[in-house]
Amino acid sequence: MFDSVLVANRGEIAVRVFRTLRRLGVRSVAVYTAADAGARHVREADEALRVPSYLDIEAVVGAALASGARAVHPGYGFLAENTGFARACDEAGLVFVGPPAEAIDAMGDKIRAKATVAAAGVPVVPGSSLGGLSDTELAEAASKVGLPVLIKPSAGGGGKGMRLVRDAADLPEAIASARREARGSFGDDTLLVERFVENPRHIEIQVFADAHGDAVHLGERECSLQRRHQKIIEEAPSPLLDAAARDRMGAAAVAAAQSVGYVGAGTVEYIVSADRPDEFFFMEMNTRLQVEHPVTELVTGLDLVELQLRVAAGHPLPLAQADVRLDGHAIEARVYAEDPSRGFLPTGGRVLALAEPDAARVDSGLDPGTEIGGSYDPMLAKVVVHGADRAEALRRLDRALASYTLLGVQANVGFLRALLSHPSVVSGDLDTGLVERALDDLLAGAAVPPEAFAAAALERMLALEPGDSGDPWAVPDGWRPGAHAWTPWIITPSGGDPVEVRVQGRAASARVRIGDDPPVDAALTATPSGLALSYGGRTIPFAAARDGHTLWLGREGHAWALTEHVRAEGGATSAAAGDGVLRSPMPGTVLAVKAAEGDHVDAGQPLVVVEAMKMEHTVTAPLAGVVASLPVRAGAQVALDAVLAVIEEA
C-alpha cells in the first residue's frame, strides 16, 4: 500500500477519499486553488499545496512530487478521465489510481467505445458510428436512424451537450447548441447521434478489474431519476431487474472492461427500455469512480476507494464473482445548489447555517462560511441511506432529508423529498423522463408557506424591540390609546413577488395578516437553534440565519430566503418588473446574443444564451416589440438578475 496519496480534486469527493486514507493510515495530500484556500478539503488533508487550477496537469503533478506522494487519486471530474494526466503521472513515476491511459482513450471516445464493445458482443444503441460528421451529415444520420434521436458529444459525459430531438426542424439548432456546449465542456465538439429509446431507464454496472487478468461486477445501480440528463437520485439494486437480468448485464459489463484491458474501478452504463427490461444497450463506460458509488458500498459492504488503492498498488482483487453479495437496499440523493422552480438553474451564495443529518451517510465538502460560486459543478453533497428493503430505504432517506438544514444557498432538498414521495418513485415505475413529466406536481408544494412570512415579519419586530425599557412609545408594535395599530412590512421571497405582512401587537403576542388573508394569532420566540413560531394554534420551529436585509428560514428540508424591503406606509405595494426587461436567470457568461438593438422580435424568440457551471440557458423575449437596449455582448460576465435586454412593445 502507498504511504502517501495526493487527491487531485476538491469538495465532497476529496473529503470522501481522505476518509479512507485515514482509516488505512495513509498520508493525504490536497491541492487547492486561491478560491478554495479556506475549503473543508484543504483543512482535512495532512498537507495541502496550492495550484493555479485543478485542470493544470503540470502543476498538479508537480504538487504530488513536491509533497512526496507516491500515487494520485483523481476523484471524478476535472482530470479523472484525462489520458494526458494519466500519462504525465506515469512519466513522473507516480501511480495513477485509475485505469491505463489506453483504456481511458478507448472508452473516452464514445464512437470508438461502441465499436470496441460491440466487437466483444455487448449490445449497442443503433446510431452513427463515424466521427467528424458535419452538421449536415449529422442531420442526415439522424433521419436514417429515425426520430426521436439523441445528439451527444463523443467526448465527456454527465449529460453535458446532450440534446433530445423529436422534430427534424429542431435538428440544426440542437446540433449547434450541442457543439457549443461540448466544445466548452470538453474541448472537443465531435458529436454522434443515437436512436432514443422510449421510456428509457438508466441502469449501470459497477465493475472492478486488477492487473492480473481478473474482473468482477458488483451489481447494478438504478439512475433513472434525472434532470437535464444528470442524475439526482440513485439506488442499488434496481427495482426493475431480476437475478437473471443482473447476471446478463453484469457479464456484458465485465466483457466490455476486459475488451480494453481495464484495471481499477469502472462503470458500464446501459439504457434499458422500461417496457422491455430484457433488452439493454451499452451507452458508455465511465473510466473512474462514480458519484453514486456509495450505494454500491452500502449494499456490498465494500470500500470502493480502498479497492481502487489496492488494485493500483498491484494487489489482486480480494474477491471472485461468486463472493459478491447484495444486502438490502441503498438510495442516494444529490444535494445541488440549484433552484428547481426556475428550471434547475444553478444558484450560489455563502453557507450561513448547516446541519447535516445524523441518521445517514453524508458525503459533503461543505462547512458554514463556504462560498458557492459558479466556477464548479453545483453538486454540494450526497445523502445516502441503507434499509432492509426498498420501502425502508425510501422512508429513511426522506427523514434524513427532512433533517437537512442548509441556509444561505438555494438548494434542491425540498424538491428531493417531493420526488421521493411521488407514486411512481414509490412503486419503482421509473424512467429518465419522469421528473420532467411530473415537474408541475413536484413543484406544487414549493411556494413559501404563510407561516414563513409570519415568522419573517415577527423576527423583524423582535429585533427592533428595545428589551425591558418599559417605554411603550419605543416599541414598534403600533401601540396607541385604545388599540394597537397594524405595522406593515413588505417581504419578498427569492424569485417571487413581494407580499405585504401586517402585524398587530408585539412579537410575543400578535395578530398577523398576510396579504388579504384573515388575521391569525401568532407569537415568535428565539431558540438556541433558531426561531419558534406559534401560528394559529400550531408551534412551528425554524432554523434561521440573517444576511443583511434577508432572513433565511429552514424547516423539514425546505429553505426560504425572505428579504425585507421598504416598509409600507399605507396600502399594499407592488414591485413587478417592467414587462419588457430581460434579466439573467443565473450568474454566468453570455455565450451568444441573437439580436441587435432596433431589431423587431416576437414573443418567445431566443435573444441571449447564458452559461454557468457548464449549463446553457436561453433567455427569450417576453413580448413582441423592438429591442430598445442590449447592454451585453458575447463573453461578458453577468450577475443574477442583471439586465440583458429591454424590449419596447410595438
Q: Are 204 and 290 in contact (CB under 8 A)?
A: yes
Has residue 567 got a pLDDT over 70? no
Pick the CATH number of 126-195 from 3.40.720.10, 3.30.1490.20, 3.30.420.10, 1.10.3720.10: 3.30.1490.20
**What's the number of CA atoms in the CB half-sphere (13 Å) around residue 244?**
3
Nearest to 394, CA basis, from 414, 413, 416 = 416
Question: Residue 349: helix, strand or coil by DSSP?
Answer: strand
Q: Are 390 and 235 in contact (CB under 8 A)?
A: yes
User: Which residues, 6 or more positions from 299, have their beta carbon under 8 angstroms from its beta carbon?
Assistant: 219, 236, 237, 326, 327, 328, 329, 330, 386
Has residue 120 got a pLDDT over 50? yes
Has residue 578 got a pLDDT over 70? no
Has residue 469 got a pLDDT over 70? no
Looking at domain 581-649, its CATH architecture is Beta Barrel (2.40)
pLDDT tier at 571, thresholds 50, 70, 90:
very low
Residue type, 300: T
Question: Residue 313: helix, strand or coil by DSSP?
Answer: coil
pLDDT, tens only, 349-405: 999 999 999 999 999 999 999 999 877 889 999 999 999 999 999 999 999 999 999
Q: Residue 484's pLDDT is what?
A: 65
Domain 200-443 has CATH 3.40.630.10: no
Residue type, 38: G
pLDDT, tens only, 304-318: 999 999 999 999 999
Has residue 570 got a pLDDT over 50? no
Nearest to 490, CA basis, from 573, 425, 421, 409 = 573
pLDDT, tens only, 20-67: 999 999 999 999 999 999 999 999 999 999 999 999 999 999 999 999
Q: What is the DSSP string of 242-288?
A: -HHHHHHHHHHHHHHHHTTT--EEEEEEEEEESS-TT-EEEEEEE-S
Question: Residue 545: helix, strand or coil by DSSP?
Answer: strand
Does 565 or 575 have the greater pLDDT score?
565
**What's the number of CA atoms in the CB half-sphere (13 Å) around residue 437?**
11
Residue 227, H or E segment: strand 215-227
For residue 369 the three cell numbers come to 462560511
Q: Residue 634's pLDDT is what?
A: 87
Give me the phi and psi of 296, to 5 degrees please. -70, -40
Separation of alpha carbons 235 and 546, rounded Å: 36
- For residue 613, list its beta bridge partners: none
Has residue 272 got a pLDDT over 90? yes
Question: Residue 480: helix, strand or coil by DSSP?
Answer: coil
Cα radius of gyration rounded to whole Å, the chain: 27
pTM for the whole structure: 0.82
β-pairing verdict for 71-73 and 625-629: unpaired
Least confident of 218-227, 331-340, 590-599: 590-599
For residue 500 the three cell numbers come to 405585504
Domain extents for the chain?
Answer: 4-97, 126-195, 200-443, 450-564, 581-649
Nearest to 252, CA basis, from 272, 229, 234 = 272
Separation of alpha carbons 470 and 472, rounded Å: 6
User: Which residues, 6 or more positions from 475, have their beta carbon under 8 angstroms from its beta carbon?
Assistant: 465, 466, 469, 506
Q: Are 243 and 230 in contact (CB under 8 A)?
A: no
Strand order through the sheet with 27-32? 47-50, 27-32, 4-7, 71-73, 95-96
Q: Residue 574's pLDDT is what?
A: 30
- For residue 205, list its beta bridge partners: 220, 268
Has residue 472 got a pLDDT over 60? no
Query: Mean of the pLDDT values across residues 108-133?
Result: 84
Mean pLDDT of the chain: 90
Nearest to 506, CA basis, from 491, 485, 536, 532 = 485
Q: Are 502 and 438 in contact (CB under 8 A)?
A: no
pLDDT tier at 207, thresholds 50, 70, 90:
very high
Q: Is residue 265 packed enough to be buried (19+ CB in 10 Å), middle (13-18) or exposed (0-12)?
A: buried
Separation of alpha carbons 342 and 389, rounded Å: 34
Domain 450-564 has CATH 3.40.50.1110: no
Query: Mean of the pLDDT values across residues 89-110?
Result: 95
For residue 362 the three cell numbers come to 453524508
Has residue 576 got a pLDDT over 50? no
Nearest to 455, CA basis, from 565, 551, 538 = 551
Looking at domain 4-97, its CATH architecture is 3-Layer(aba) Sandwich (3.40)
Residue 115, H or E segment: helix 110-119
Give me the phi and psi of 5, to 5 degrees please. -130, 130
Residue type, 306: E
Separation of alpha carbons 131 and 618, rounded Å: 28
Residue type, 600: H
Q: Are 203 and 280 in contact (CB under 8 A)?
A: yes
Q: Residue 514's pLDDT is what?
A: 96
Query: Mean of the pLDDT values across residues 338-350?
Result: 90
Q: Residue 480's pLDDT is what?
A: 53
What's the residue count for the chain? 650
The count of other CB atoms within 10 Å of the CB of residue 574 is 8
- For residue 267, list its beta bridge partners: 206, 286
For residue 377 the three cell numbers come to 459543478
Q: Residue 565's pLDDT is what?
A: 67
